Structure 1
Amino acid sequence: MDLRGKADDRFRHVGTALKESLAAGEDLGASVAVIIDGETVVDIAGGYQDKAKTLPYDPRSLTCVFSSGKAVCAALIMAAVSEGKLAYDKPVADYWPTFAAGGKGDITVAEALSHQAGLSAFLEEKDPAIWIDWEATCAAIAEMEPIFAPRSASGYGPQTYGYIAGELLRIANGQSVGRQLAGLTDDVICGLTLSQATRTTPLVKPKRPPDLGEIDAITKAAFLEKWSSPAGVSRQAWAAAEIPASNMHACAHGLAEVMQLFASGCWGELTVSDKVREEAWAERIHGADLVLPFTLSWAAGVMRETGELFGAPPTAIGHYGFGGSCVLADPARNMSFAYVPNQQSPHLVADPRAVRLVKAVYQALT
């Protein structure tokens, strides 16, 4: 199976790992990228965009990366903190006054980003189309009461996270997440135009649904209610909307570039101080998540490596997206990594395909 793109010879095992996933049918098409201190050392793709295997998957093919986009939001927040526009330990309501409703006035930016605010989902029924209406969704989040005691645990917010982070960014920068990204890259997009949609590759659904663990009211509201995610709208309307936590489209190289903000403090025109980077990846809470069926260590919007979550040393942080996409940064090595597949798997985290690729990266670094 031939791969497209380029990779330094010492990272040849990364290409081998991708070839193995493609040959085994675990991947249909995928891109992988590794950047070290701003230098691209892996930028490859293999397989196909379609089940008929007529369209090759290109290193610049765009695929929906779902929750890997949360790490993109976290990186942009980190840059805003470094610029003095936001602060992790200040209340969200200092920037977004209406957020204080429902007893949320003291919830900090870092607590919201680490899923401690009790805003995982809407327990009460909503129009499923609300998610494509930015103002309506932000207003609903601002007025809601926490659905668990803030700071008592983490409770992952599959959709709500993106609106909280995105509204903070809009207030800080005067631009939506999508507009800010559009000024920085063509390879990570939040809100597809019709012309950009021609670069996208369709997803192949997983062969079985993910294991959500015990289904309680919070998990059900986060994942399984008819209003848990956008519904009743066309695919075009969904793709064109800005839903930062779940509908970004990207290639691996674009994501690895963004993750350089964590890894080295630089991406294009954006820079982040070492002090703020350390604040960003510091552990904010560690324990059993109330929504995801895992024990997780959360930093400010990204997961910290624990228990082979990524197959990396404990200095790594990152995020997964539904179906298997993965982003990672290791500040100790100035290294960032991304994997973007179009064949979805049922693994919510620790996707074996991504873990094999990450281990191949570290094989080259040792």
Structure 2
Amino acid sequence: MKNVLDCVATPQGEVNLFGHIAPGFEPVLHAFRENFTKGAELGAACSAYVNGERVVDIWGGWRCLNHQKPWDEDTMVVVMSTTKGLTALAMALLHADGQLDFDRTVASYWPEFAQGGKSSVTVRQLLAHQAGLAAVDVPLTPKSMADRQTLEDVLAKQVPLWVPGTRHGYHATTLGFYQNAIIRRADQQGRTVGELVRDRLSGTPPNDMYIGLPDAIPDARVAKIAVGPDWRAMRQLPLRTILSSLNPRSLFHRVAANPKLKKLSDVSTRQYLKLELPSFGCVATARALALTYSLFAGRNPILQGTSETFCQLEASAIQPSNDGTDIVLGIPTAYSLGFSKPSPFFNFGSDDRAYGTPGAGGSQAFADPATHLGFAYTPNNLRLGVLDDQRARVLREATYQCIEKLS
């Protein structure tokens, strides 16, 4: 029997909120309720685990655009670049197994990668968005992205856009493809990132996380997404970032426009979701993401990780030799091992040990080792504008306030 926590009056009508709130975490439900009251949500879920224990697991609203089908307990949604964190967690497990060394060159795993002056690029530099491979010259299509060999040939031939290690810039689409190529070669079983996530991360219930959605998952379980700009949030960005986003000749556009989509909501269709898109194509529940990050935050033995791997994940970002301004986004950012680290425009976690990723439109998931917290927020009303969505931020801040009061 579903546990109805609240009934909310929204501009679109009444919405029921369901789930579980541990004693002392009621303010998170109140913040979740306010997001709906303000008309900021279509459907959404938020989950938080501390020391592997569920303290917040709430959902509500609609999984369709016509407000006819409610968001259910097992509803999943495409989480855009929050996917990158899941791919990075899979790579961390290969490191713990001794199959991947972050300080080896990419070419030592994938010799063809050395083309175009990339022979000295390390795995660590690539995962820190410092390799200069934020864009590719060849147009990407669903067909080409499904043809792994052709795709990897294109990636291997790509010439860096800047001298690797000197700058960093958000590899919005390309990073996951490069990661998948490394994973397949480093893993002794030759698994892809989707297979590795399934075998090593999705084996721990709740296991609703997929990079490459199986045919067996019915369409009814996947929420449809709505996409629109958040003009108010965009005002927080520097003028140079706004101008870059509007300039079709900018590096920002070169990165964002490949693959070329008729509309961003196309990524939530089966044509894209069935592909392994390790940068932006994960379909998941907030519950599964939060629990997974909580296990990492608490260094849980079930992960079979090593102390060295956890220390690497928790280490501060190593900035490029120039400055910390992201050459693609035009704002200060911090990246490490495939994750975002706390920075002025995504200031999450208790300290610099935190690691995770935000996704376009509002989703985010992260680990905070200081509090052993795993947190995730997954909406289907994608509001484009900033890295750290206001809806997620109020939920995150409420969670921390509760943890502080109970500590």
Q: Give the TM-score normalised by structure 1.
A: 0.92
Where 1:318 maps in the other structure, the secondary structure is strand
**Aligned-CA RMSD value:** 2.5
Shift, 1:204, TM fit? 0.9
Where 1:205 maps in the other structure, the secondary structure is strand
Q: Hey, what's the Cα distance between the residues in 2 that align with 1:349 and 1:77?
A: 23
Q: Does the C-alpha gap of structure 1 residues 151 and 197 become closer, same or farther in structure 2, counting only changes over 3 Å?
A: farther
Q: Does the C-alpha gap of structure 1 residues 338 and 157 become closer, same or farther in structure 2, counting only changes over 3 Å?
A: same
Q: Does the C-alpha gap of structure 1 residues 333 and 164 become closer, same or farther in structure 2, counting only changes over 3 Å?
A: same
Structure 2 counterpart of 1:320: 358
Tell me, yes or no, if structure 1 residue 192 matches structure 2 residue 213.
Answer: yes
Shift, 1:300, TM fit? 1.2
Q: Does the C-alpha gap of structure 1 residues 306 and 313 become closer, same or farther in structure 2, counting only changes over 3 Å?
A: farther
Letter in 2 for 1:330: D
1:122-180 deviation line (CA, Å, top 9, x unaligned): 14555574223222222111111111111111111111111111122222222111122
Alignment counterpart, residue 306 of structure 1, candidates 320, 329, 343: 343
Where 2:107 maps in the other structure, the secondary structure is helix
Point out where structure 2 has 5 or more consecutive residues left out of the alignment: 1-6, 8-15, 235-240
More moved, 92-101 vs 192-201: 192-201
Contact kept? 2:80, 2:359, Cα under 8 Å: yes
Tell me, yes or no, if structure 1 residue 251 matches structure 2 residue 267.
Answer: no
Q: Hey, what's the Cα distance between the residues in 1 that align with 2:379 and 2:289?
A: 13
Structure 2 counterpart of 1:201: 223
Q: Where do 4+ consecutive residues of structure 1 move more than 6 Å?
A: 228-234
Letter in 2 for 1:182: R
Q: Hey, what's the Cα distance between the residues in 2 that align with 1:266 and 1:105?
A: 36
Alignment counterpart, residue 179 of structure 1, candidates 195, 199, 203: 195
Alignment counterpart, residue 389 of structure 2, candidates 346, 351, 358: 351
Q: Hey, what's the Cα distance between the residues in 1 that align with 2:167 and 2:132?
A: 9
Where 2:31 maps in the other structure, the secondary structure is helix
More moved, 293-302 vs 113-122: 293-302
Percent of aligned pairs with the same amino acid: 29
Letter in 2 for 1:352: Q
1:197-231 deviation line (CA, Å, top 9, x unaligned): 42101001114589653245422210135648999
Superposed, which structure 2 residues align to 1:324-335 within 5 Å? 324-335=362-373
Q: Does the C-alpha gap of structure 1 residues 292 and 188 become closer, same or farther in structure 2, counting only changes over 3 Å?
A: same
Structure 2 counterpart of 1:97: 111
Q: Does the C-alpha gap of structure 1 residues 310 and 197 become closer, same or farther in structure 2, counting only changes over 3 Å?
A: farther
Contact kept? 2:212, 2:274, Cα under 8 Å: yes
Q: Hey, what's the Cα distance between the residues in 2 that align with 1:305 and 1:44?
A: 25
1:17-42 deviation line (CA, Å, top 9, x unaligned): 11110111111111111111221211
Contact kept? 1:304, 1:314, Cα under 8 Å: no
Superposed, which structure 2 residues align to 1:1-366 within 5 Å? 1=7, 2-123=16-137, 125=139, 129-173=143-187, 174-183=190-199, 184-185=201-202, 186-198=207-219, 199-207=221-229, 213=242, 214=244, 215=247, 216-224=249-257, 227=260, 235-266=269-300, 269-282=302-315, 283-285=317-319, 287-307=324-344, 309-315=346-352, 316-366=354-404
Q: Hey, what's the Cα distance between the residues in 1 that align with 2:348 and 2:29?
A: 17
Letter in 1 for 2:156: A
Where 1:195 maps in the other structure, the secondary structure is coil
More moved, 340-349 vs 355-364: 340-349
Q: Hey, what's the Cα distance between the residues in 1 that align with 2:351 and 2:387?
A: 16
Q: Matched residue pairs, number? A: 365
Q: Does the C-alpha gap of structure 1 residues 333 and 225 become closer, same or farther in structure 2, counting only changes over 3 Å?
A: closer
Where 1:17 maps in the other structure, the secondary structure is helix
More moved, 61-70 vs 142-151: 142-151
Q: Does the C-alpha gap of structure 1 residues 89 and 352 become closer, same or farther in structure 2, counting only changes over 3 Å?
A: same
Contact kept? 2:65, 2:225, Cα under 8 Å: no
Where 2:367 maps in the other structure, the secondary structure is strand
Where 1:149 maps in the other structure, the secondary structure is coil
Contact kept? 2:106, 2:113, Cα under 8 Å: yes
Where 1:180 maps in the other structure, the secondary structure is helix
Between structure 1 and structure 2, the one with the greater Rg is: 2
Q: Does the C-alpha gap of structure 1 residues 226 and 30 become closer, same or farther in structure 2, counting only changes over 3 Å?
A: closer
Q: Hey, what's the Cα distance between the residues in 2 that align with 1:274 and 1:152?
A: 30
Letter in 1 for 2:94: A
Q: Hey, what's the Cα distance between the residues in 2 that align with 1:25 and 1:230?
A: 23
1:212-261 deviation line (CA, Å, top 9, x unaligned): 53245422210135648999999422121111111110110111123235
